Amino acid sequence: MEEIQSQSDNYRSSSSSASSPASRVPSSNFFYLRKPGSLRQPISFEDSPEWEDTDVDVRVDDGGDSIHVATTPASPSLSKLNSGSLPSPHLPEGAVIPRKIAGASVAWRDLTVTIKGKRKYSDKVIKSSNGYALPGTMTVIMGPAKSGKSTLLRAIAGRLHPSARVYGEVFVNGRTSHMAYGSYGYVERETTLIGSLTVREFLYYSALLQLPGFFCQKKSVVEDAIHAMSLGDHANKLIGGHCYMKGLPSGERRLVSIARELVMRPRILFIDEPLYHLDSVSALLMMVTLKRLASTGCTLILTIYQSSTEVFGLFDRICLLSNGNTLFFGETLACLQHFSNAGFPCPIMQSPSDHFLRAINTEFDRIIAMCKNWQDDNGDFSSVNMDTAVAIRTLEATYKSSADAASVETTILKLTEKEGPALKSKGKASNATRVAVLTWRSLLVVSREWKHYWLHLILYILLTLCIGTVLSGLGHSLSSVATRVAAIFVFVSFCSLLSIARVPALLKEIKVYACEESNQHSSTLVFLLAQFLSSIPFLFLISISSSLVFYFLVGLEDQFSLLMYFVLNFFMTLLVNEGIMLVVTTLWQDVFCSVMTLLCIHVVMMLSAGYFRIRNALPGPVWMYPMSYIAFHTYSIQGLLENEYLGTLFAVGQVRTISGFQALQNVYNISLDNTSKWNNLLVLFLMAVGYRIFVFILLCFFIGRKVSVLKSFKCNRVTTNTS
């Protein structure tokens, strides 16, 4: 400790001398030293704060539904903070107060998380963390980038990747059992919303996916969530914009993602970076809204990278992390006292969170080195001797020996000495209901997303008009056979290529699915069934409109049964093509890579489809086997040609005639069997199903399981071992 203390005297920090204008260092010298012996009282929100210990009394009612927490403020400073020393916006008159929520206590003891390959020097991402969160309070996990904030939040919520090893214990109401479905909510840092729906529609569909019961019973739940997140003025606005209509700002979009979890009325709410990509005003409004939500009794646990002074004053407790180490856990203003005790008081003109992160963020070492080199080159100022690692060790050692750490252990002991009520599941919507809801929601999105769907339909019609007009007036003579085969090949191949324009829409659907699946709002089978059912009307509309234009312009056989087969064959081709796009998009999760891969796949399939070279004449390895059998173009074109030419005769001279099969021998391989075209249609159907089964496997075992959802803490937890 003496060595650490001696080294920490050289720490480059905001000096306490900043409280005296006469002794302030000029602003041009941003980094300056803390002089030995200059330790003063920390500069908080008052001139002369007094600090006392916090007394927490936790009482669990027998057979009750909640945990009552009585707290004595840590100091008069904290009392003034809670009573308005840091003023927060008042609720407008007539505002709807959200209904009370029975919260739950959460405590974690000696929590250690190891993830292989996550860190450069150690697999330990979180190291022996202790802390708790109480009903009606907002507990914030703060730290610089890559300090382990999100990992700790996931570990507490039981949502770590299965490859992660968790040591220690997590208690909910004094129990080590898992949190049941619906008893908690988790909001990711980046969530995908459906921009073509209004806020009310989006939350209503989310409620239908999450809650059991009748549709009419969920309207009140949605309205409660809207009022809880102060979204009443935006309830009927589109989320992400539609056509020429402007969407919601980023702050309101973030509130919508939180409101989606509130429809279940969870007792515990985990939010990863609620201020992500928000400006200062939006951040303050967000935290005031969350503070009001916490006042209803909900237990809030958040991660935050940085905050303003006003936002900082809204926190109840802070868990400060650096490189997985807990540097402090306790009341907000007590953290200022902790830094002061360690020798790093907060200057009067600096935000507390900025000061904390400035002291423990190792990235500042690089900035210091750059500034030092620049100062040395210009002969300006003296060299600076600052080591953030020393500051981190000092703060950690000070915290371990402080009364704050002892108070945390005492509180955890009180929270876990008696088991409270277990969190119960509120039930789920049935899979049939979820399929129906997702299908209807997708159809509604299709009807509004003109950029991805209706424009796509127009492009299909324009393409078939171009092909049909260029290849029109062929007649039915023997000389027109080769040109007609070329027309069918171009129709199938180019329309399949045009389908690649749907990649952005499919990628968005997969991202929405991943977001909903992570919270068990949906499942892989439900998503694929709903996606398949909702795509049928749109693809059939494309197939029948494009087929009619092409069929009559090119002048194919004028029979209704043959026309219906043509439409059905092209419809199956589009289903197969969409299955391939789902596979590629699921694998890449990127628009550019998916489009490039699909272009390559289509070109290879077109080369092996038997048009450029008859299928029997293709080279055996690769092109004949397996490419010509994998390419859906082969079965689509062959079926359409058999539909057109089997049973037809062509005159050769005035006496002799040849069949359509003989006329195609030198142009394309078809079968003499009259049922062959139906076999080709069956192969296309099996391909459409097979590709979706492949997508199901990918989503289940490779893509969709990025987080471990609702696993028991007993299963996730491993008895703590000494390293």
What pLDDT does residue 672 have? 83
Residue 74 in this model has a pLDDT that exceeds 60: no
How far apart, in Å, are the Cα atoms of 179 and each of 218, 268, 572? 23, 9, 45
User: For 110-122, how does the pLDDT look when each residue is reduced to its tens digit (9 = 90+)?
Assistant: 999 998 877 666 7
Q: pLDDT confidence of 525, banded at 50, 70, 90? A: very high
Q: Would you say 154 and 710 are in contact if contact means Cβ atoms under 8 Å apart? A: no
- What does the pLDDT read at residue 35? 35
Q: What is the pLDDT of residue 99?
A: 59
* Rounded (10°) CA dihedral 365, 367, 372, 377: 150
DSSP run (H or E) holding 657: strand 656-659
Residue 507, pLDDT > 70, answer yes
- Provide the pLDDT for residue 460: 94
Angle at 179 between CA 177 and CA 181, to 5 degrees: 135
Q: What is the pLDDT of residues 651-704, one digit of tens each?
A: 777 778 888 888 888 888 888 888 899 999 999 999 999 999 999 999 987 665
CB 516 within 8 A of CB 707: no
pLDDT band (50, 70, 90) for residue 72: very low
**Nearest residue to 41 (alpha-carbon basis) of 87, 77, 3:** 77
- DSSP-derived secondary structure for 278-293: --HHHHHHHHHHHHHH
Q: What is the pLDDT of residue 692?
A: 95
Q: What are the tens digits of pLDDT across the range 606-619?
A: 999 989 988 888 89
d(CA 409, CA 109): 8
Give the pLDDT score at 368.
62
Q: From the CB of residue 374, how many other CB atoms can be counted at a distance below 10 Å?
A: 11
First to last CA, the chain: 23
pLDDT at position 654? 73
- With cut-offs at 50, 70 and 90, classify the pLDDT of residue 392: confident
What is residue 14's predicted lDDT score, i.e. its pLDDT? 38
Residue 136: burial class (beta carbons within 10 Å; 0-12, 13-18, 19+)? buried
Residue 319 CA to residue 103 CA, distance in Å, equals: 20
Q: Which residue has the higher pLDDT, 47 or 441?
A: 441
* Res 38 pLDDT > 50: no
Environment class of 27 (CB within 10 Å of its CB; exposed 0-12, middle 13-18, buried 19+): exposed
pTM of the model: 0.79
- For residue 717, pLDDT over 80 is answered with no
| pLDDT computed for residue 534 by the predictor | 93
